Amino acid sequence: MNILYMILQGLFLLFLAPLIAGVVKKTKALLQNRRGPHLFQVYRDIYKYMKKDAVMSEQTSWIFVFTPYLVFASILGAGLMLPVFHPVSPWPFSSDLIVFIYLLTMARFFMALAALDTGSAFGGMGASREMAVSSVIEPALVVTIAGLAFKAHTTDLSKMVSSFMVNPNGIFTPNLLLLLVAFYIILIAESGRIPVDNPDTHLELTMIHEGMLLEYSGKYLGLMVWASYLKQLLLYSIVASVFLPWGITSDPSLIGGIYNLFFYLVKVVFIGVLVAVTETAFVKIRLFQIPELLFSSLVLSFLSILMEITVGGR
Amino acid sequence: MLAELLYTGLGCLIFGALAAPLLGTKFKKSWLVSIGVSLIGSLCVLGSALQIMGLRSPFILRLPLSTLGMIDQSLYLDRLSGFFLMVIAIGAVLVSLYSFGINLHYSEAGKNLSYFAFLYNIFLLAMYLVVLAGNVVLFLIMWEIMSLSSYLLVLYEHEEKHVRQAGFIYVVMTHLGTVFISISYFLLAKAAGGLNWENLSLVSKNLNTGLANIIFLLAVIGFGTKAGLIPLHIWLPRAHPAAPTNVSALMSGVMVKTALYGLLRFLFTFLPTGPWWWGGLLLILGALSALLGSMYAVLQKNLKGLLAYSTVENMGIICLGLGAALILRHFQFYDLAILAGVAFLYHLMNHAVFKTLLFMGAGSIISATHTKNMDLLGGLLKRMPYTGLFFLCGVASLVALPPLNGFVGEWLILKALFNLSIAIDSLTIKALGLLAISVLALVGALVATAGVKMYGSVFLALPRSYQAEKARETSLSMHIAMGLAAFICVVLGVLPGKISLLLGSLLELYWPSARVPAQDGFWQLCNVPKLGGEVYYPLFLGLLIVIIAILTWRLLPFIFGQTSVRRSETWTCGITPDATMEYTGTGFTEPVRVVFKNIFLPTREISQIYQVRPYFSRVIYFRDNIKPVIEEGLYKPLMKLFLAFSKYVRRMQTGSVQMYLAYILITLVILLATVR
Amino acid sequence: MAWMIYLMLGTAFVLVAATSLSRMVRVLSLQSACLALLGFWTAYRSGIGEIYIAASLTFVVKALLIPWILLYTVRRLGVKEQVEFNFGIKKSLLLSLGFVLLSFEVLPPNILHKEIFSGSSLPVAISLVLIGLFIMIARKKALTQIVGLLVMENGLYMLAMSATMGMPLLVEIGIFLDLVVGALVMGILTFRINQSFDSIDTSRLRNLRG
Amino acid sequence: MIVIVLLLISFFTGILAWMVPGQEKKEKINVIGSCILACTGIVLSWQVFSMGTFYAIDRAIYVDPFSALIIIVIVIVNLAVSLYSIPYLKREVSHGLVTREQSEKFYLWYHVFVTTMLSVVVVNNLGLMWVAIEATTLASALLVGFYDHKHSLEAAWKYVILCTVGITFGLFGTIFTYYSAMEILGHGTDALYWTKLMEIAPRLDPSLLKLAFVFILVGYGTKAGLAPLHNWLPDAHSQAPTPISAVLSGVLLNCALYGIIRFYSLTNSALLGEFSQQLLLVFGLVSIGIAVPFIVLQKDIKRLLAYSSVEHMGIIALGVGLGSKLALMGAMFHLFNHAMAKSMFFMAVGNIAQKFNTKNITRIKGIVHVMPATVVFFLIGAFALTGLPPFSIFMSEFTIAWAGFTAGKYMVSSLYLLFIALIFAGLGYHVTNMSFGRLSRRVAKEKENTWLLAAMCIPLLFVIGLGFSTPAFVTDILEQIAVVVGGE
């Protein structure tokens, strides 16, 4: 039963991820008075990548081949820890947020290695920037989690959701709102969006994430791209289930699942739209201003925790 | 039986030490015999360590040695020493196995291997006896022999000036540390009225707070020096890279742990629970060490330098766990305290294994390429596939990727810090805990950067120098040792359950009011101690990821049809790619350096010689450096002050007889005046 | 015999103020002669035969033999008679006075009354020792240092006389033996120094420092 | 009788070595004499340790465990140095630093010097002890000036002047003691017999005894090299021929300390222990402390060793000053250990200085390349002297520190430990740079002289042998000594 649930959620997330990416792209295009690609264009892209033959650099070692599978697997594995249909995640052994983060770190680690493996300057540049940015993301992210843990007295996602969903309007406390803002900044940075990174460009001056994928082609590229959409969706999902705990029921029946699913979709799409709006409203900032942005996130989280400690979040 | 096994092990080491110079001239043979014996000895010690871990009460072995009629020397075996003995023995077994291969290139260079083998065995013996010593005298003797032998080992390649300097700084720092240790022992022993551990462990109840504080502070300074805690670390990043690699593996992986043993001996058996700021101090020191250690590690060009700084960082992380445990214990959250205790003990063990592995890997790389500069390496994965694989395993542990062992330790410590800041009702401690959490996160990311840099610039892409291009895989014994270490990393990573229970039961012995939470059935094998609901089954997580990866690999062609892969060169805008286009390790970490420029205080000088001003330069010199804040801000001024004072005092010896007579007269007059 | 004691103190002051080597040696000889006289008087008073021997030894060795060795050295070396100063005469005299005061001050009051001669021989002995040492400090030449040393010895002997009516004979003889050998060794060294340095100015002996 | 034999052996070895013609024979006499002396000395000491204090000639000769300890030190160091000085002198002659004539007189002076030192510790009469101590100065003065060049003459001059002045004060102190004892024992030798004095000690006039102790401390302290009275010491030790330096440092200083400690026992049994202990503590600590800057900044290796001697004399004084039985045992043990380690180290340094033809630390580098055997002694000596285990000095330094803490003297003991560590830093720096590194100049590697190595092995035996563990009989001996010195 559990395994079935896991497979279901895995496939669901896999297939939802390109759609959400499409939503963001489409919204952005609309906001910029463009028609933009079709909502399902991303699916077509991925399909195309998968069908194509790949060109592989001679300079690379087995790390380069191994990485796309590992990245894909670790992000998908992380996806199984999220509570989506049900406030309890399908992966019965751990839905700890810290483990979740470290799975993402693992993906990043291998991606950076693979980027260096090609021996091209672009790969090195992408990896170098990615690691530098991540070193400022990480503390902000963990402190945000600490803020949540202060509220929920746990770092376990399922339990967090279970404790928040009881009183969804509890979100309207100043400290949770601050945390939300903090987390939103991190989300932007982690998913490689403007103003931190621009996913649509291959300009060497600006690219971070894309630089690392430059040497990939064919199914390997397909896996990497898919994984990155998946990661984006996972981050949205956290916001959806932890910060916006409306419309979640612990009813284990099919009806309850569909109820949850519906609200989940609404929330995720909403966040996608919000991200698109943010991307349109801001310009990409310089690489070395990113730390300042993320530092502000860190400060917000600290502030939130301080409020939690001193006035109990009122 | 236990005693016999232990004595056999130690005896083997003594024999190994003596065998080397006696067999003498036949370098290779004496080396092999000596190391072989030390391997057997270490295995025996490992066996007895496992037995000691099972003891419920301390077991005291009297030795036929005595000092000035005060005390008979004895060995004191309890779970704490057993644990550390085990850690050291594991490291020693691995490194001994490894050493069959490593030092043969020294014999080619005309170096005296029997000297090396002698000191190597003595070093191991001293480390074992440090944790086994049952009284202050034996402890200090072994402690100093450990320093002395490792100092001489560091000086093995003494022709280089920086090696001599490193050795000197090392031995002086550690000796000054010993002064503090001795004073704290003496103060304690004075209160206890004896120098044996049996006496000292009885004193904790009637020790007054002020004295306990002083003893604690002195012990932290003393042992902190050996552990390489910032700001007492300056010897570590110098000495560890300078030593021959198998020695640096032992120093970094194992020797620094003896300092923690000393500290824990104080905290567990000698001192009372103490005020909460003891833990707070350790938290702060730990955070500082972890942070600065990882930052300097990121910027290192020298492979072994990077690993050495990473040792500083890991010692910091361990101290974070220890600090958390102490605070939790002070506030009587015994269960949480034990969790934190398990966390840092676990991390300590992990670090011993993966750091040994990494240093062994570094040794293989260096013996294959004869350079430590990462900017000159590259592409070794194809040339040294086994080393590359094992090294990757070590790096992954270092950067705490699940499901390897590094993550278990780090996860537990993060957990402990979370517990600390949530459970305790004090704003200061909460803030301290949060600060530690964010530091740990930052450290995690920085270490990941360092790991990518290290692995990427050494093993991946194209070789950047002739040596790297010509590198060949090293000998079998080295592979076995590294493979074994990598295997231990994986095992400790996926099956933490039983081991953490063992650590928990160790702690129960010293903190009697605490209990390790019980675990149920099969799950306990692969889960970490469960508290407050968060669980983490690394074995299943690992399997999950492997299964998904394999499924993806097998299913993709099945779903989308077979595709082919064509090999071609990397695209570099149309030019044939070569190694000069790659990012070097230095370039890789440049953004980090810019981001944290307030800590690194980088300086750069660019000078150009022009052909035609101002456009065509012929030569450009570029030199950049970071400013080691602690050395420049703390040690240099102190050193200057000391030397200036010394020069001033030296003027007393003027060379004039009359002056000397005047000293006598003045002394006499003063004394006569005081007699009155 | 109190005046004899003060005579010795007076000669010490003369030595401090002296400016020529041979005069210093002669004054030293006079001081030693006074000391011998003191010894004879003690022997007479106490009726202990040993003291006669010690006193005669003093006279022979200190008043005659050693001054002769010193004068011989002065003549053989052909050094200038001039005494060279580290401290000026006025300053030296003032400081010497200070030492005398200190000596009177330092001694525990209860031991003063036990003396044989007068209430002041002990402090004077100590002042002689201090002044002797001061001469060694304040004067540069090797020979003046020997003179200072001998003044110290005289102070010592006077102490022995006045406090304990001399040491046991065996010890006394040992001391004299040491004294003679010491003077000889120092004489030899003075010769060699003069050879090597072309001077017996000890302030030149400053190559070894630090 | 055996004591007289002891003195005679030593004296006649010197005389014979002087009178018998032929370098070979002189050397043989020297070695044989030293061997016999060593055997006699050890037998004598052993008798004392096992059967108790030893008297002769109507109590004028007196050997108790404390004197026996020093006798052992003297004869062992003497044996090593005698062996050592033969090849040493040969090389000095062949290098033209010393003329053959001079070298012929060496053994005479040397053995006379040893005789005077032996006589210091066997006489019961405090006055004669003074005479003997002064005699050691005179006997060694010409040895210090042995090389007869400017520097050694300067050193010898300072040595004689400062020590003679110092020792004059020592006599002063002796006279005061005699004075105070005379009241009770009357005029005569009895009042100077140390055994008698100890019996009546509590009845001695305390104010006089205090005064006496001050003079004794300044007097013998000068000779023993306690700071700030130590200034002759670095000059003499650095300029004397190495065998003499070894004896000066290892033995002579101890003889002077012997004088102080005898008087200390006296004051202790006269219930003035507090007072004399304070003084010894201060002098000890100052001596240890003053050695730090001089060792750190030193350029001349033999001077460095001299300062190290100042330090160790300070440690012994400190140990005695702490006063407890344990501390006294430690101090006495330290006295022995220091003599062994220092003489060995001096010999090693002598080899090196001869080989490199300089005493300048900065010009000696890479000893390990040319003298692989000597460098072992050199390193062991350096580590032993700085109190690192597993060498015997660690044990005694540890004991003293522990005694300090048990006596509640926390600051003093902590400072003592700190100073020792700083000295280690200084010495460690020099030793590291001298032993290791590339050769700085062309020094040919040749086979090291076996006799030189053998000579160094004698003290090495004790340095290592007593390092790990103190056998029960050693503890027993030290306890006996502590009882004597403690004066209870």
Q: Best interface-test mutation with B: which of C110, C130, C131, C136 has the largest number of B CBs within 10 A?
A: C136
Selected residue with higher pLDDT from B674 and D463 = D463
| Partner-chain residue, chosen from B427, B456, B565, that has the shortest CB–CB distance to A54 | B565
Give the number of C-alpha atoms closer than 13 A to the C-alpha of residue D417, restricted to the C-beta side: 25
The token duo for D405 is 């803490």
- Helix, strand and coil content of chain B, in percent to the nearest 5, comes to 75, 5, 20
Q: What contacts 24+ positions apart, CB below 8 Å, involve B20-23?
A: B20/B113, B20/B114, B20/B115, B20/B116, B20/B117, B20/B118, B20/B121, B21/B114, B21/B115, B21/B118, B23/B114
- In the predicted model, what is the mean pLDDT of residues B411-438? 89
Render pLDDT for D40-93 as a digit per residue (tens, 0 to 9).
999 999 999 998 888 888 788 889 999 999 999 999 999 999 999 999 988 888
Binary contact (D145, C133; C-beta < 8 A) = no
CA distance A33 to chain B (A): 34
Suggest the residue from A51, A75, A128 to mutate for an interface test with chain B (most B CBs closer than 10 A). Answer: A128
Is the pLDDT reported for residue B527 higher than 70? no
All residues of chain D having their beta carbon less than 8 Å from the beta carbon of residue C159 are 172, 175
Mean pLDDT (whole number) for C191-197: 82
What average pLDDT does the segment B580-606 reach?
85
Q: Do B656 and C203 touch (CB under 8 A)?
A: yes
Complex ipTM value: 0.91
Q: What is the model's pLDDT at position A313?
A: 46
> Is any Cβ of chain B less than 8 angstroms from the Cβ of D370?
no
Task: Determine the Cα–Cα distance for residues D62 and B545; give it in Å rounded to an integer.
Answer: 89
Q: Give C147-157 pLDDT, tens digit per residue.
A: 898 899 888 88
Chains in contact with D via at least 3 Cβ–Cβ pairs below 8 Å: B, C
For residue D218, the chain B residue with the least C-alpha distance is B668
Physical contact, C and D (3 or more Cβ pairs within 8 A): yes
Residues 6 or more apart in contact with residue B473 via CB below 8 angstroms: B368, B383, B384, B385, B386, B387, B479
Best of A96, A97, A131 to disrupt the B interface (most B CBs within 10 Å) is: A131
Using a CB-CB cut-off of 8 Å, the residues of chain C touching D133 are none
pLDDT tens profile D286-327: 999 999 999 999 999 999 999 999 999 999 999 999 989 999
Q: Which tens digits make up the pLDDT trace of C50-79?
A: 788 888 888 888 888 888 888 888 888 777
Using a CB-CB cut-off of 8 Å, the residues of chain B touching C208 are 655
For residue B104, the model assigns a pLDDT of 61
Would you list the DSSP string of C132-196? HHHHHHHB-BHHHHHHHHHHHHHHHHHHHHHHHSS--HHHHHHHHHHHHHHHHHHHHHHHHHHHH
Q: Do B445 and A139 touch (CB under 8 A)?
A: yes
Encode pLDDT of D4-22 as tens digits.
888 899 999 989 888 888 8
Residue C171 to chain D, least CA–CA distance (Å): 6
Distance CA B94, CA B478 (A): 9
| C109: pLDDT strictly greater than 90 | no
Q: How confident is the model at residue A233 (pLDDT cuts 50, 70, 90)?
A: very high
Q: For B235-268, what is each residue's pLDDT tens digit? A: 999 999 999 888 999 999 999 999 999 999 999 9
Residue A41 reports pLDDT greater than 70 = yes
Q: Indicate whether B617 pLDDT > 90.
A: no
Q: What average pLDDT does this structure show over A271-280?
A: 93
Specify the residue for token string 């053998």. Answer: D454
Beta-carbon separation of B658 and C106 below 8 A: no
Task: Please state, rounded to an integer, the average pLDDT across all residues of chain B.
Answer: 88
> Is the pLDDT score of D346 beyond 90?
yes
% of chain D residues with pLDDT over 70: 99
Predicted pLDDT at B100: 85
pLDDT of residue A314: 47
pLDDT of res. B25: 59
> pLDDT at position B26, please?
59
8 Å CB contact of B571 and A77: no
| Band of residue D213 on the pLDDT scale cut at 50, 70, 90 | very high
Model confidence over D385-412: pLDDT tens digits? Answer: 999 988 999 999 999 999 999 999 999 9
Q: Give D-chain residues touching B652 at CB under 8 angstroms.
A: 228, 290
Min distance D213 CA to chain B CA atoms (Å)? 10
Q: How close does chain B come to C184, measured CA to CA in Å?
A: 20
- Residue C141, chain B, CB below 8 Å: the answer is no
Q: Which two tokens stand for residue B286?
A: 């730990």
**At A218, is the secondary structure helix, strand, or coil?**
helix
Q: For residues C30 and A191, what is the distance between their CA atoms, to the nearest angstrom?
A: 108
Q: Is the pLDDT of residue D452 over 70?
A: yes
Nearest to D288, CA basis, from D266, D315, D321, D268: D315
For B164-187, write each residue's pLDDT tens digit: 999 999 999 999 999 999 999 999
Q: Are the CB atoms for D239 and D159 separated by under 8 Å?
A: no
Mean pLDDT, to the nearest integer, of B307-327?
95
Task: Give the mean pLDDT of chain C.
Answer: 83
Q: Is A213 helix (H, G, I), strand (E, B) or coil?
A: helix
Cα–Cα–Cα angle for A69, A75, A80, rounded to 5 degrees: 120
Q: Do the beta carbons of residue A135 and residue A183 sit within 8 Å?
A: no
Residue at B323: amino acid letter: G
Chain A residues with CB under 8 Å of B382 CB are 61
D347 has pLDDT over 90: yes
Decide which of C133 and D440 is more confident.
C133
User: Which residues partner with B604 through β-bridges?
Assistant: B624
B531 DSSP β-pair partners: B534
DSSP state of B583: P
Most confident of B220-224, B625-629, C109-113, D431-435: B220-224
Cβ contact C193–D158 (<8 Å): no
**What digits encode the pLDDT tens for the residues D257-275?**
999 999 999 998 888 888 9
For residues B395 and B454, the answer to whether their CB atoms sit within 8 Å is yes
Q: Report the Cα B348 to chain-centroid distance in Å.
A: 9
Instruction: State the Cα angle at A242 between A239 and A243, rounded to 5°.
Output: 65
Average pLDDT value over all residues in chain A: 88
First to last CA, chain D: 28
Give the pairing of strands B565-568 and A54-57. parallel
pLDDT(C117) > 60: no
Whether C167 sits inside 8 A of D148 (CB atoms) is no
Q: What's the pLDDT score for residue C116?
A: 56
Nearest CA-CA distance, residue C106 and chain B, Å: 6
pLDDT of B66-117, one tens digit each? 777 566 788 999 999 999 999 999 999 999 999 887 656 666 666 777 888 8
For residue C126, give the chain D residue with the closest CA. D172
What's the half-sphere exposure (Cβ side, CA atoms, 13 Å) at B541?
31
Peptide bond before residue D228 is cis, with ω within 30 degrees of 0: yes
